[in-house]
Amino acid sequence: MKKLIVISILLIMCISVSVFAAERMENTVISKDETRTGIVTLAGTTVVNDGTIDDDFIAAGQSVINNGHVNGDIIAAGRTLSLVGNTRGNIRAAGYDITLKGITAKNATIAANTISIDKSAVIYGTTMAAAQTVTVSGTLNRPLYAAGENIIIDGVVAGDVQVDARMLTVLPGAKISGNLSYASDNDANVAPGTVAGTVTKKAPVITAKEFGKKAEFTIANIFSKLWWIAGSFLLGALLIKIFGMFFKDTPGTISASWLKYLGIGILTLIVIPVASIILLVTVVGIPIAIVSIVGYVLLIFLAKIPVSIFIGDLILKDKNIYLKLLAGLSILGLVYLIPYLGGLACFVVMLTGLGLLVYNIFFVRKAAVAPVE
C-alpha cells in the first residue's frame, strides 16, 4: 500500500516540481491589487502571490507563499511552502516544509519532509500526502491517503482514511466519518469515539527493517529523484532556450525514426570508447581522446532531455515544451525505480537520446537554434 501511495504522489509531484527556468527570474511578487490572466509561472528566491490569478499558478523557489486567490491549480516546489490563500483547482506541491491553509476546491497532493494541514484548511477533494511527519488538523471532505514515519490526525475527515506509517496517532479532537485502515509495525494510538467506521490494521508488505534495506520508495529516495528531476529540468530548460527549434521538433523526429537513433546510439556507445583508447596510445592523439571522452560523457548526460520531451508530448500534446520536459523527466524517474525493467528502459532511453544528439551534431548541417519563448 505504501508503494502505491508514494508512486501516485510522486507521479503528480514530479510534474509540479522544479519549474525554475520556465519563466525569467524577475517578477517574483504579485501584489494584492494585481490580477494575472493565463497560466502564471514564477521562480526566484522568494515567490509571493498576494493577488488574483485567473488560471494555474506554477511557482518554484526557496520560499513560495500564496496569500491570494487562484482560479486554477497551484503547482509549487521549494524548501518552504506556505499555501494560505484559496484555490478553485488542485494543489500539487513538493518541498521540505509545507503548510496548507485556506480552501482547496479540488484535490491536494503533497510530498515533503514535514506537512501541516492547518485547522483553517478545507480540502474538498481527495488528499494524498507523503512525508516524514504529516499533521492533519483541517477539514477534509473526501478520503485521506497518507504515508510517512509519523502521521497525526487532529481534524475532520469526511471519508475513509488509509495510512502507511511507522506511527499513527488519532487525537481526541479528530473525527473520521469513514473507515480507518493502516499498515504499520506498531499499533495505532486511536482516541475512543474518533472513528465512525471500522479500524483495521494491516501488516506492512515488508517490515520496517526490511523496508529500510530493500525498498526503492523511501522518503530519501523520493527526494533524491525530485532533486534529480529539478537539476535535469534546469539544464533542459536552458538548452531549450538556446536550441529551441531542435527540441521543439524532437517529438516528431523521434517518432519517425527512433530505431535509427537507437542504432546510432549503440554504435556511439561502442565506437567512442574504443577510438579514445586507441588515440590515448599515441602522443599526438591524447588531446583528441580527452576531448572525445569529455564530449561522450556530456552527451550521455544530456541524452535524457530530448527523449523526455518526446515522452511528455505523448501525454501533453497541447501543452508547452517545458511542461512536456517536466512530465517526461517525471515518468523516467518513476520508471527507473522499477527493478530490472526500469534500468533497461532507461538504458534504451539513453541510447535513443544519444543517437539523436550525435546525428544532429555530426550529420545535420543546419541546426535550428531559435529559442522557444
Model confidence, pTM: 0.57
Average pLDDT, the chain: 80
Residue pLDDT, tens place only, 356-366: 888 887 766 44
Residue pLDDT, tens place only, 268-288: 888 888 888 887 777 677 788
Half-sphere exposure of 335 (CA within 13 A, CB side): 18
Residue pLDDT, tens place only, 179-221: 999 998 899 999 999 999 999 998 765 544 444 444 444 555 5
Residue pLDDT, tens place only, 77-102: 778 899 999 999 999 887 789 999 99
Write down the pLDDT at residue 26. 46
Residue 266 pLDDT > 50 = yes
Residue 370 pLDDT > 50 = no
Residue 158: closest CA among 122, 131, 202 = 122
